[in-house]
Amino acid sequence: MIIVPEKVIPALIGHEESYAAIEKVFASMASRKAYNFPVIREAIGYADALYGFKSGFDRDALNLGLKSGGYWPGNAAKGLTNHQSTVFLFDADTGKCRAVVGGNLLTALRTASAAAVSVAHLSRKDSEVLGIVGAGHQAAFQLRAVADQRDFRKVVAWNRTPEKLEGLAKVAKDLGLPFESVSLENLGAQSDVIVTITSSFAPILLAEHVRPGTHLACMGTDTKGKQELDPALVTKATCFTDEVAQSITIGECQHAIAAGSLADTDIVELGAVINGDHAGRTSDEEITMFDGTGVGLQDLAVAGAVVALAVEKGVAVEVDF
Ligand code: NAD
């Protein structure tokens, strides 16, 4: 069995390798060669923690396994990240444990890659202004991954507490892009692509904020009750997702579905666009929306890629198990 510790992962994988793994697994999901198993997430009644696992099998890449972990709010005080996760991969031929891989950086990379893949396949090619809503841990990863997909000229951003935007401003500077902290109205009026990555439980972006032709990558809503968009905006947009079952239950589309203004059959898997089975955006005026709910197969895809890279570079720890 191979162990790839969290500390060696930053030197092994970046946005480019993660993007390739995520685009491929979304395509496999849409062609029904890869599927996710039901998600388990529980408040365990100890340390205020939320714990669970996401799992699945990709028959194309032979990635079988799960990501296990969750949220421990007391970790920051102990000098640890609140979100903790580990990926376990199993041999699809024998069921033996193949690898254990640190899942913290991989979670941020695979989430950013999902948004980036949606931008590459759904946003207007002439997109120039990138809007980011949110400035937490994931936001910087989102900015780096998405900025690569179009010839962006500027980044505009909004956060509930604007002082936290300093970190994003530094990333934009690093990328050589001008950065502005703006109101939501101003962000919507300027942006061609908007990424939302907050933990909000109420709408932030409203239909009147967003102009025709915008692509929205909605990445924050991954739990029942969370919400970043006004359902009227979701209804106005052409909706794409990683997985329809998650989109309608724990993703951004859950609210428009509950309101009866959207049907599950209105939502298209991004993989169908990647495979050429759906046209994706059909006009420069269309608002497209990607509901990135985060599926277990994304975790397995990047973990599989990292195991291959660790073996290639000789940093995988092998144990007899
Ligand atoms: P974080 O705690 O580091 O940052 C949270 C962000 O949300 C901050 O910008 C904060 O200002 C903002 N926020 C919180 N409550 C808000 C509110 N009521 N209104 C407006 N803004 C609010 O979190 P993070 O690690 O950056 O994660 C952000 C979100 O992304 C979380 O909801 C997390 O669960 C989700 N997430 C999704 C995926 C996925 O695959 N879709 C993967 C990882 C994380």
Each residue's pLDDT tens digit, 174-188: 999 999 999 999 999
Q: What CATH number is attached to the domain comprising 223?
A: 3.40.50.720
Residues 183 and 303 in one domain: no
Give the integer Cα–Cα distance in Å for 10 and 312. 15
What pLDDT score does 192 carry?
98
Task: Report, as ranges of residue numbers, the positions in the chain whose pLDDT lies below 50.
Answer: none
Residues 74 and 214 in one domain: no
Token pair in block for residue 226: 């969370």
Give the relative orientation of helices 104-122 and 137-147 as an angle to the nearest 10 degrees.
40
Tell me if residue 24 is catalytic.
no
pTM score, two decimals? 0.97
Non-local CB neighbours of 239 within 8 Å, separated by 6+ positions: 247, 253, 262, 266, 267, 268, 289, 291
- Ligand 1 centre and the CA of 64: distance in Å? 28
- Ligand 1 centre and the CA of 31: distance in Å? 31
> If you take atom 35 of ligand 1, which residue's CA is the nearest one?
220
Residues 51 and 174 in one domain: no
In a domain, 217, yes or no: yes
Domain that residue 285 falls in: 123-294
| Atom in ligand 1 nearest the alpha carbon of residue 201 | 18
Non-local CB neighbours of 276 within 8 Å, separated by 6+ positions: none
Residues 307 and 232 in one domain: no
Give the integer Cα–Cα distance in Å for 155 and 181. 9
Residues 55 and 140 in one domain: no
Residues 71 and 149 in one domain: no
Token pair in block for residue 104: 């913290």
What is the separation of C-alpha 156 from the centre of its chain, rounded to a whole number of angstroms?
20
Residues 50 and 135 in one domain: no
Residues 50 and 90 in one domain: yes
Substitution candidate for ligand 1 out of 87, 109, 111, 138 with most atoms within 8 A of CB = 138
What pLDDT score does 9 carry?
97
Residues 146 and 240 in one domain: yes
Give the total number of structural domains in the chain: 2
Coil/strand/helix, residue 42: strand
In a domain, 112, yes or no: no
Choose, from 24, 54, 67, 226, the residue flagged as catalytic.
67
- Ligand 1 centre and the CA of 282: distance in Å? 31
In a domain, 152, yes or no: yes
In a domain, 116, yes or no: no
Q: How many CA atoms lie within 13 A of 228 on its CB side?
A: 29
What pLDDT score does 240 carry?
98
Residues 131 and 244 in one domain: yes
Alpha helices in 241-295 (DSSP H): 244-249, 254-259, 270-274
Q: Which of 231, 281, 227 is nearest to 250 (CA)?
A: 227
Give the integer Cα–Cα distance in Å for 98 and 63. 10
Query: Which DSSP category does 169 fall into?
Result: H
Give the integer Cα–Cα distance in Å for 295 and 308. 21
What pLDDT score does 249 carry?
95
Residues 127 and 12 in one domain: no
- Ligand 1 centre and the CA of 283: distance in Å? 31
Q: Does the CA dihedral 201-209-260-290 come out positive or negative?
A: negative
In a domain, 115, yes or no: no
Strand-strand pairing, 34-36 and 50-58:
antiparallel
pLDDT, tens only, 230-283: 999 999 999 999 999 999 999 999 999 999 999 999 999 999 999 999 999 999
What pLDDT score does 247 carry?
97
In a domain, 92, yes or no: yes
| Atom in ligand 1 nearest the alpha carbon of residue 138 | 26
CB 71 within 8 A of CB 199: no
CB 229 within 8 A of CB 251: no
Residues 285 and 206 in one domain: yes
What lines the ligand 1 site, CB under 6 Å? 107, 111, 134-139, 159-161, 197-200, 204, 219-220, 222, 226, 292-294
Q: What CATH number is attached to the domain comprising 6?
A: 3.30.1780.10
